[in-house]
Structure 1
Amino acid sequence: METGFTTYNKSEFIETDTGNKVSRLSLISGSQNIVLGGKTIVHSKCTIRGDLRRAGPSHQAAVLIGRFCSLGEASVLRPPYKTYKGVFSYYPLKIGDHVDIGENSVVEAASIGSHVRIGKNCIIGRFAIIKDCCLIEDNAVVAPNAVIPSFSVVAGGPPAKIVAQLPESTQDVFEAQSKDNYAKFISV
């Protein structure tokens, strides 16, 4: 499936040394606690909450995002939280390589593996774990603490259910698509 070029206004995006393209219209809080692996696109109105992190002397990033990811317009990424023995704490949100998060999706997962597609208007509940090579269909609601096995297609909800399995070639297909999308995201 060949995708067309997506153009953007060069003045709207900041390009980092590692090739990340971050919209000036995105809301990034606590940038010192956010790690972008490189060649990641953060679209306009995307919110990344790096300011929500565990207090204490150890400096652990609140949000870790891999390479060749695309964070859709108006999506929200925030670390999961819980109260344990009366202490309220945030925990890191880890996202692998070649992950595409659709428009208006909210992610509070503990981890999202590599080669994952999350559709538009999805909700990924607190501490959910999505393994490698998964497809989360548009409008899916993944329950908190859910574990989605590799090569799953998930839809519906709440809570979302596994509706199909992906072929073993998924990793290669998703990787090629994410690299192609990045290469075709060009400034005018």
Structure 2
Amino acid sequence: MDTSTNEGVKPYPPNEYIQTSHTLNRVSRKAVLHGTSNIVLGGKCIIHSGAMVRGDLKRAASGSTIAISTGRYCVVGEGTVLRPPYKTYKGTFSYYPVKLGDFVHIGSSSVLQATSVGSHIDIGRDCIIGRFVTVKDCVRICDGSVVAPYTTIPSGQVWAGNPAKKVGSLPETWAELHEARGRDYYGRFRPATLS
């Protein structure tokens, strides 16, 4: 499913997704979440079929116990992989936590190893977001882009290419438009009613 647009959002078979009772997250039964105790979904998030969220890759006991956390209304596309970035520091191999803000849409078949992704973000399909990338608020990354490790993407920009670079700017109304789109997507992506 293409999460970069709300076109074609259809209700899903009732048995295909699990909806959490309090936070109303919708997680596909065909998604793989490793280390669920180390994953925090902010509420009204959608994890699509085939997505893999690696909460089992976390810092040792002395560090943070949360490997991946999201804000509200985040969408992880089909076949997308979210995993913490890693590095060796003073001879010790460590994973570092991933934090996503609100209204983050990640298209299908993308791989994300960023440390920080702001709010009102649209990451297209087939993207690779390298280790320790920082994405500020209100950013669009176009389909097929490869963002090099340790890159910082400033607010209000559009990035594309391999390697990805700035190709444009977003309108000042981006946050409001993207938020409305995220709420609409969540509202339309619901269990089908049986007739």
Query: TM-score normalised by the shorter chain: which range applies?
Result: over 0.9
* Identity value in percent: 52
Distance in 2 between the 1:186 and 1:26 partners?
A: 17
Q: 2:191 maps to what in 1? A: 187
Q: Is 2:19 the partner of 1:15?
A: yes
Structure 1 gap ranges (5+): none
Say if 1:2 and 1:96 are closer, same or farther in 2 by CA, change over 3 A: closer
Distance in 2 between the 1:28 and 1:176 partners?
A: 28
User: Higher strand proportion, which one?
Assistant: 1
Q: 1:85 maps to what in 2? A: 90
CA drift of 1:58 comes to 4.9
Letter paired with 2:184: D
Q: 1:53 maps to what in 2? A: 58
Structure 1 outlier segments of 4+, above 2 Å: 1-5, 57-60
Please, what is the CA RMSD of the aligned residues?
Answer: 1.3
Distance in 2 between the 1:35 and 1:137 partners?
A: 26
CA drift of 1:59 comes to 4.8
CA drift of 1:106 comes to 0.1
Write out per-residue CA displacement over residues 81-104 of structure 1, whole angstroms, 9 at most, x where no aligned residue: 000000000000001000000000
Distance in 2 between the 1:2 and 1:78 partners?
A: 26
Tell me the TM-score normalised to structure 1 length. 0.96
Q: 1:64 maps to what in 2? A: 69
Q: Is 2:148 the partner of 1:143?
A: yes
Say whether the 8 Å CA contact 1:43–1:71 is kept in structure 2: yes
Q: 1:37 maps to what in 2? A: 42
2:169 to 165, 173, 180: 165
Q: Give aligned pairs, total.
A: 187
Structure 2 gap ranges (5+): none
Letter paired with 1:141: V
1:176 to 169, 174, 180: 180
Tell me the TM-score normalised to structure 2 length. 0.93
Write out per-residue CA displacement over residues 34-79 of structure 1, whole angstroms, 9 at most, x where no aligned residue: 0000000000000000000001145531000110011000000000
Say whether the 8 Å CA contact 2:103–2:179 is kept in structure 1: yes
Distance in 2 between the 1:2 and 1:73 partners?
A: 15
Distance in 2 between the 1:2 and 1:114 partners?
A: 18
Write out per-residue CA displacement over residues 110-129 of structure 1, whole angstroms, 9 at most, x where no aligned residue: 11000000000000000000
Say if 1:82 and 1:58 are closer, same or farther in 2 by CA, change over 3 A: closer
Say if 1:2 and 1:85 are closer, same or farther in 2 by CA, change over 3 A: closer
Q: Is 2:134 the partner of 1:129?
A: yes
3-state SS of paired residue (1:48): strand
CA drift of 1:177 comes to 0.3
Distance in 1 between the 2:131 and 2:26 partners?
A: 27
Say whether the 8 Å CA contact 1:108–1:128 is kept in structure 2: yes
Say if 1:29 and 1:2 are closer, same or farther in 2 by CA, change over 3 A: closer
Distance in 1 between the 2:166 and 2:6 partners?
A: 27
